[in-house]
């Protein structure tokens, strides 16, 4: 069983550094209230010990859901101001916004950086969800227009039921378009960048 308490000083520094970096990379922090990075990073570090020891998709799904529900109660979308006037007040983050931050962070930590170790990460990354963004939702909506009614237009509209249905459609498209040869974590790589855009 993987435990943070078993890490030596250098290993703990690496673990904390990767978690902090991965939370930043999600791109969601610019939408959240100041101080959210620390909250998200600290919560992910607390959750990591359980996440890194899961042995089934069901266990992963339960922990993922717990984190996202924690986020909707503890993370705020920042107030927007224009010409010194508030155009949008602070609001709780949506399930979809927290899920994207978590999914990108886990993809970087587990898939790219192979936390907690290379052997365990090869098992865990198959449980990871596709980090959903607006572009991915539009692509899935074009393929499966009737499967979600109404389709969310922004991550701020994505609630838990929408998010889980979108992940089901990702799995469906992986089978139909990729013969089941990629994982949800890899799916986002395919649809975030088209081949011609790789070096832009």
Buried b or exposed e, range 169-195, using 16+ CB within 10 angstroms: bbeebbeeeeeeeebbbbbbebbeeee
> Could you tell me the residue range of the domain that residue 42 belongs to?
4-191
Task: Assess if residue 148 is contained within a domain.
Answer: yes
Q: pLDDT tens for the chain, 200 residues: list them.
A: 899 889 999 999 999 999 999 999 878 888 999 999 999 999 999 999 999 999 999 999 999 999 999 999 999 998 876 656 555 688 999 999 999 999 999 999 999 999 999 999 999 999 999 999 998 999 999 999 999 999 999 999 999 999 999 999 999 999 999 999 999 999 988 876 554 443 33
Task: Assess if residue 122 is contained within a domain.
Answer: yes
Task: Assess if residue 27 is contained within a domain.
Answer: yes
Task: Assess if residue 44 is contained within a domain.
Answer: yes
Name the pTM for this structure: 0.91
171: nearest Cα among 127, 133, 134, 135: 127
> What is the reported pLDDT for 190?
84
Task: Assess if residue 197 is contained within a domain.
Answer: no
Give the whole-angstrom CA distance, residue 140 versus residue 32: 26
Cα torsion at 116, 12, 18, 183 (round to 10°)? 10
How many structural domains is the chain composed of? Answer: 1
Task: Assess if residue 200 is contained within a domain.
Answer: no
> What is the reported pLDDT for 198?
38
Task: Assess if residue 196 is contained within a domain.
Answer: no
Phi, psi (5° rounding) for residue 182? -125, 165
Task: Assess if residue 124 is contained within a domain.
Answer: yes
């Amino acid at each position: 069983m993987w435990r943070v308490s078993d890490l030596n000083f250098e290993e703990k520094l690496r673990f904390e550094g990767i978690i902090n970096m991965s939370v930043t990379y999600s791109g969601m922090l610019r939408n959240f209230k100041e101080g959210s990075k620390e909250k998200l990073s600290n919560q992910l570090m607390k959750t990591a010990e359980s996440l890194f020891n899961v042995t089934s998709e069901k266990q992963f799904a339960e922990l993922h859901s717990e984190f996202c529900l924690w986020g909707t109660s503890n993370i705020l979308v920042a107030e927007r101001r224009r010409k010194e006037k508030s155009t949008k007040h602070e609001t709780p983050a949506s399930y979809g916004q927290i899920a994207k931050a978590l999914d990108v962070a886990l993809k970087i930590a587990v898939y790219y950086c192979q936390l907690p170790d290379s052997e365990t990460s090869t098992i865990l990354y198959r449980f990871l969800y596709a980090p959903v963004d607006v572009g991915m939702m539009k692509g899935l909506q074009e393929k499966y227009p009737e499967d979600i009614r109404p389709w969310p237009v922004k991550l701020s509209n994505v609630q838990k039921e929408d998010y889980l249905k979108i992940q089901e459609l990702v799995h469906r498209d992986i089978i139909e378009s990729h013969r089941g040869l990629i994982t949800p974590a890899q799916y986002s790589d395919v649809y975030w960048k088209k081949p011609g855009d790789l070096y832009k």
